[in-house]
Structure 1
């Protein structure tokens, strides 16, 4: 089923608003006009009743003189009908008071009333007259003939409905045209964005000809293009790095096989060839495992098995593992402080191992790698520092990117040297809802890890999926 366009929706809403406003205006006009005439009728009828009451207070009823005086009062005002009744018996009726009107008066209740007799409409008032001579319980009924006014209001309402229909139709057509004109900038924006492809994500949409209400949308769209461009660049570089890293061990294996197959060799040579190939295969396997780990991390599939851990003991185990490698280079360790945190111990050991092995690799010979532990404000920190060549400022922003190396010349055959170690480290720390930073100045490079040590601080945050 085809959905209604935005123009049509706004035009329909505009038509509804106009119609509702006109209806409310008509109802208000009709109500206040009727109220005005009713109050005017009450004022006229009340004054006439007071005049009749004054006459009846001076003479007996009935008498020709009183009848003449009342007729004079009634006939001086157009459309007034008067009837006086004593104990449900009419004692006076004006000349325009028909028998049907007189018979209907006994059924009336209330001081103000409306009566419909033979198609004529009357607005009347009822009042008991106390100031009379020799008569008790005299009731005066006075009514105004408002037939012409009722017909006038009926005609006005009929004209209103015709006008309402024409106004709604006209407002809908004009609203649709005006809204179409007002939405032209969106159509222009749509045409501009339709020309953007993956090869030109670095372009941006200008806001010069865009209305102010759409500036935020255009700004957000331009920011999205920047993020997409960065993602495409990283993805392209990532694909190239994967191909490069996998090509190196494959080329090594192909070259070895070609050399060894040139002539026959003994079993020891073939065994050596298999061991060399096995080493290359293990390297590729570790690289694939690292890539799968990072892919899971990107999709929030890495869920740490949290438990309270002594960070000092955990760091000691990592130092012991790298002790022989450090001795070969003459590097010492200085572990100080103590702290505890809610962590997945094997995952954090892997992250610390990546940082410490990196520190050993780039530390000055006969220097000391310091590992400082501390806890403050429900946050535990681990700071690993080493003396050595500084990392330039422009490298620090990308040091945790995949396959990124500060020194591309150093490829010693380790998986970490492929440029995945720091990316994995950051993924592990972020999976713990922690933070990691790198600083390098005055030949001192430090990696600082901050981890929460309370359960509430590490509650996993579920990301909302993209919605269509």
Structure 2
């Protein structure tokens, strides 16, 4: 009986001791995770530091920490982009709104001035159309960024480009349409692709001299169809500008004096390309020839 009690006491003591060891080991093992969580909690979208240090983390935690840091950096870049876009939208809307207020104030102050009142309606209409175009562009950019699945179908790319060229070439410009066959068939969303081509072709017509040709070249590269749209660049862009072409509301003219272009077309192109699984790039040739390359 005494011997049984002795063995029971030893077993109980060993069990308690083992529990303490397990508890210490678990606490020590979880300490890096606790430290990581603590450092992660100090990071927000306005923090100067946007990465959790990983030099003191055990090897087992490095993949998780790297993935978290990557997510933080991407979110931070998206946040900065949204802040800039919001600021740019406010800037774009501020000018026509100020013009409308100024016109109304002048008309109220001088109601009998025929020279002022006779032009008021047409001026208001022009500014209102500008506002409408800005808002429509912003809405289209938002629509192109949604996650809703796009319905895809077989599209004759040559026919679609020919229709787009006829629609966008209002001044009957010279066009060089290079194609090796009459029907390049691609399976994609027709509305999205038409929007992409319309913006690229319209951009080529607008930013090139009236006496210069616009070139559209279709070719095949392995399993991809490649569309290149080229024009002579007249606005003196450089390699640094090319990197910003697809940013929403970016305009090369820092004073933003244009009343026709709002820096949304190429951003919409980029957004739709991402949704279609296509790619878009731009390059500048030695003779001021700028080329947009769409790979579908």
Please report the TM-score for the alignment, with normalisation by the length of structure 1: 0.56
Deviation at 1:165, TM superposition (A): 4.3
Q: Write out aligned runs for 1:276-315 (5 A).
A: 276-301=123-148, 303-315=149-161
Q: Please, which of 277, 284, 288 is the counterpart of residue 433 of structure 1?
A: 277
User: Relative to 1, partners in 2 of residues 1:419 and 1:264: Cα closer, same or farther, differing over 3 Å?
Assistant: same
Deviation at 1:395, TM superposition (A): 2.7
Residue of structure 1 in register with 2:106 after alignment: 259
Question: Any conservation in 2 of the 1:438–1:446 contact (CA below 8 Å)?
Answer: yes
Give yes or no for the alignment of 1:349 onto 2:194: yes
Residue of structure 1 in register with 2:175 after alignment: 333
Gaps of 5+ in 1: 1-153, 452-468
Residue of structure 2 in register with 1:421 after alignment: 265
Question: Any conservation in 1 of the 2:208–2:231 contact (CA below 8 Å)?
Answer: yes
Please report the TM-score for the alignment, with normalisation by the length of structure 2: 0.84
Residue of structure 2 in register with 1:444 after alignment: 289
2: distance between equivalents of 1:281 and 1:334? 37
Q: Write out aligned runs for 1:381-396 (5 A).
A: 381-389=226-234, 391-396=237-242
Question: Any conservation in 1 of the 2:111–2:117 contact (CA below 8 Å)?
Answer: no
- Name the larger-Rg structure: 1
Question: Any conservation in 2 of the 1:202–1:229 contact (CA below 8 Å)?
Answer: no
1: distance between equivalents of 2:57 and 2:270? 41
2: distance between equivalents of 1:163 and 1:403? 77
User: Relative to 1, partners in 2 of residues 1:313 and 1:156: Cα closer, same or farther, differing over 3 Å?
Assistant: farther
Question: Any conservation in 1 of the 2:178–2:217 contact (CA below 8 Å)?
Answer: yes
Q: Write out aligned runs for 1:85-104 (5 A).
A: none
1: distance between equivalents of 2:8 and 2:117? 102
Residue of structure 1 in register with 2:42 after alignment: 195
* RMSD, aligned CA: 2.9
Deviation at 1:164, TM superposition (A): 4.6
Q: Deviations over 1:50-86 (max 9, x none)?
A: xxxxxxxxxxxxxxxxxxxxxxxxxxxxxxxxxxxxx
Deviation at 1:361, TM superposition (A): 2.3
Q: Please, which of 173, 176, 191 is the counterpart of residue 23 of structure 2?
A: 176
Deviation at 1:281, TM superposition (A): 2.4
Question: Any conservation in 2 of the 1:306–1:344 contact (CA below 8 Å)?
Answer: yes
1: distance between equivalents of 2:112 and 2:193? 47
Which structure has more relative contact order (CA 8 Å, sep 6+)? It is 2
Q: Deviations over 1:147-197 (max 9, x none)?
A: xxxxxxx99999776655443332122211232133223333333233223
